Amino acid sequence: MVGTPNRDRQAERREATHAEILSVAWDVAEEHGIAGLTLREVAVRIGMKPPSLYSHFDSKNAIYDAMFEQAWTQYAAIVDDVATDLPPNPRQALRVLAETFFDFATAHAPRHQLMSQRVVPGFEPSASAYGPAVQVLDQFQSRLRSLGVDDPAGVDLVTALIGGLVNQQIANDPGGSRWRDLLPRAINMYADEVGLARREPRRSP
């Protein structure tokens, strides 16, 4: 075909613009809060006119949707990497997983608000964008099960516990470590509740 090389170059350029819009959108959200994101600001920083963004995204919510999916995809990659080398001690393993989520969440408050809270008035993530988020929760659930936590309520309890620490850290001590320092204690408290062993299981009983 004659047109193929051109289309490849155009496709590349289109994808690059797509990524640049998202990258700049994260910058703006970081400065003005996730709900303070404006298409004008994004367009200006890229050197575009605001309406031109509509060539790449159908609406502002479509940008939020892509950001939502991107954030959970990034976290999925990080936790997958961490999970390849977990400590054999179940408590330590759970603590590493909790710290991984906590540090990712508190690193960028606007990102966490988009991922885990319903803060943007008209925005609801699409089913497609929800994919990575559901996958992350499913994998966390199966990892908890392999650690010895069987009841579904136990999963709800620990997600609420870790999420609560994250929210308090972001809302009341941003940039500090007041609640981050409580994480090991919180995990031990939870591990006692669900009866997690304190030492790694023996090879042969």
Partner DNA sequence: GTCTATACTGTGATAGAC
Partner DNA sequence: GTCTATCACAGTATAGAC
Annotate 42-53 with DSSP letters as a single string.
Answer: HHHHHT--GGGG
97 in contact with DNA (CB under 7 A) = no
The closest of 51, 69, 47 to 60, measured between CA atoms, is: 51
User: How many C-beta atoms surround the C-beta of residue 15 within 10 A?
Assistant: 11
The closest of 101, 98, 78, 87 to 185, measured between CA atoms, is: 98
> In angstroms, how far apart are the furthest CA atoms of the chain?
69
List 131, 148, 163, 184, residue binding a second copy (CB under 8 A): 163
56 in contact with DNA (CB under 7 A) = yes
List 3, 85, 185, 204, residue binding a second copy (CB under 8 A): 185
Could you tell me which stretch among 43-51, 53-61, 69-77, 171-179 binds a second copy (CB under 8 A)? 171-179
CA angle centred on 72, ends 112 and 130, rounded to 5°: 105
The two three-digit tokens of residue 53, written as one number: 């963004």
The entry of a second copy, DNA, none that residue 196 binds, CB within 5 to 8 Å by partner kind: none
Nearer to DNA (CB atom), residue 10 or residue 117: 10
| Cβ proximity of 158 and 140 under 8 Å | no
The entry of a second copy, DNA, none that residue 146 binds, CB within 5 to 8 Å by partner kind: none
146 in contact with DNA (CB under 7 A) = no
**Shortest Cβ 38–DNA spacing (Å):** 3
The closest of 31, 3, 123, 139 to 78, measured between CA atoms, is: 139
Q: Which residues bind a second copy (CB under 8 A)?
A: 32-33, 35-36, 113, 116-122, 153, 156-157, 159-165, 167-168, 170-171, 178-179, 181-182, 185-186, 188-190, 192-193
Using CB under 7 A, list all residues that contact DNA: 10, 14, 17, 37-41, 47-52, 54-56, 58-61
